[in-house]
């Protein structure tokens, strides 16, 4: 899937004819009896559903891309494809560099463990070494402002606190590629502003950003490129302002 060597030097993400297919079986067949019954009755056909259709996109280092479009247009699917959570059904996806995926903040928190234990768990899920987390532990706690609650199991945390902690862990190391999928909406205004500032800092240091948000103001402020997705196809690429213009002209 990753033939990174073929990439030009300054390209960090390249999708070529990428297609993602989901099986939309009438009902999910996930047990043997049903499987055989359907196999014998020859009912085992799946309705194909293409979440992304032949998408081509090249993203260069340091660019900040916004993906815009309606719900179900394939924005999250595309992010998942780039994060390697999904494999393409057809086409290729090449990615160079480390990714900080923020598809959901604090994915992988274990509710029964304390915040401290979860920082280590979540950090290693992101591919940090234990040593790295130890060295940057204070930084994470400072950013999340959770000094008093470190001994508390995560299940007693509010969703905002959890998001703060998740964001702090994901951005403590400067990633080559930062992927943000509508995760900042849960936090309060102060937290959003803080995250905004942190993302800007990372951008200034040369991180590539992929951003999905329905917050137009934030998109226009952070991003310099945008792609408009509709029903799994890229309809338009250009500057965010142009993309919004094209997108909004259809809605109205």
Partner 1 sequence: MKKLFQKIMGWIRTLFRYKDLLILLVQRDIKLKYRRSFLGYLWSILNPLLSMLVMAIVFTRVFSRNIENYPVYLICGNILFSYMRESSTQALSSVIDNASLLKKTYVPKYIFTLSKITSSFVSFVLSMSALVIVMIATGVPFRWSNLLIIVPICELYVFAVGLGLFLGAVTVFFRDMKNLWSVVTLAWMYLTPIFYSLESFYDENSLNMPLASIIIRRFNPMYMYIQQFRAMILHYTPAWEVPTEILVLRGALVSVIMLLVGIITFNSTKDKFILYI
Please identify, using beta-carbon distances, which residue of 107 and 152 lies nearer to partner 1: 107
Q: Which is nearer to partner 1, 177 or 243 (CB)?
A: 177
- Name the minimum Å distance from CB 125 to partner 1: 6
- CA 211 → CA 11, 62, 121, distances in Å? 17, 13, 25
What is d(CA 85, CA 93) in angstroms, rounded to the nearest whole number?
12
Q: How far lies 169's CA from each of 128, 140, 252, in Å?
A: 10, 6, 40
Give CA–CA dist 103/107, Å, rounded. 8
Shortest reach from residue 24's CB to partner 1, in Å: 10
**Positive or negative torsion for Cα 2, 57, 163, 169:** positive
Residue ranges in contact with partner 1 by CB under 8 A? 22-23, 28, 30-33, 35, 80, 83-87, 99, 101, 103-104, 107-108, 110, 112-113, 117, 120-121, 124-130
Nearer residue to partner 1 within complex by CB, 61 or 124: 124
**Closer residue to partner 1 (CB): 46 or 56:** 46
List Cβ neighbours of 243 (8 Å cut-off, separation of 6 or more).
66, 68, 226, 227, 228, 236, 237
173 or 216: CB nearest partner 1: 173
Paired strand residues for 194: none
Question: In the bound complex, what is the minimum distance in angstroms from residue 8's beta carbon to partner 1?
Answer: 23
Nearest CA to 110 out of 98, 124, 94 is that of 124
| 110 vs 135 by CB, closer to partner 1 | 110
Least separation, in Å, of the C-beta of 66 and partner 1? Answer: 20
- The answer to whether the beta carbons of residues 20 and 51 sit under 8 Å apart is yes
Phi, psi of 246 (to 5 degrees): -65, -45
């Amino acid at each position: 899937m990753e033939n990174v060597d073929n990439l030009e030097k300054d390209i960090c993400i390249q999708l070529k004819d990428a297609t993602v297919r989901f099986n939309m079986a009438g009902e999910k067949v996930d047990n043997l009896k049903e499987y055989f019954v359907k196999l014998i009755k020859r009912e085992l056909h799946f309705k194909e559903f293409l979440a992304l259709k032949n998408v081509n996109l090249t993203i260069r280092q340091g660019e900040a891309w916004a993906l815009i479009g309606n719900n179900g247009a394939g924005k999250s699917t595309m992010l998942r494809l780039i994060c390697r959570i999904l494999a393409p059904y057809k086409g290729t996806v090449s990615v160079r560099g480390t990714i900080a995926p923020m598809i959901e903040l604090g994915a992988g928190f274990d509710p029964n463990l304390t915040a401290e234990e979860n920082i280590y768990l979540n950090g290693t899920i992101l591919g940090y070494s234990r040593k790295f987390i130890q060295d940057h532990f204070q930084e994470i706690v400072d950013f999340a402002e959770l000094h008093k609650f470190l001994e508390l199991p995560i299940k007693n945390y509010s969703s905002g606190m959890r998001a703060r902690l998740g964001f702090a862990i994901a951005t403590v190391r400067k990633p080559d590629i930062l992927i943000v999928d509508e995760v900042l909406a849960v936090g309060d205004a102060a937290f959003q502003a803080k995250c905004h500032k942190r993302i800007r800092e990372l951008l200034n240091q040369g991180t590539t950003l992929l951003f999905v948000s329905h917050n137009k103001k934030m998109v226009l402020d952070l991003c310099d490129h945008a792609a408009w997705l509709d029903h799994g196809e890229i309809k338009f690429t250009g500057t965010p302002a142009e993309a919004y213009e094209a997108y909004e002209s259809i809605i109205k």
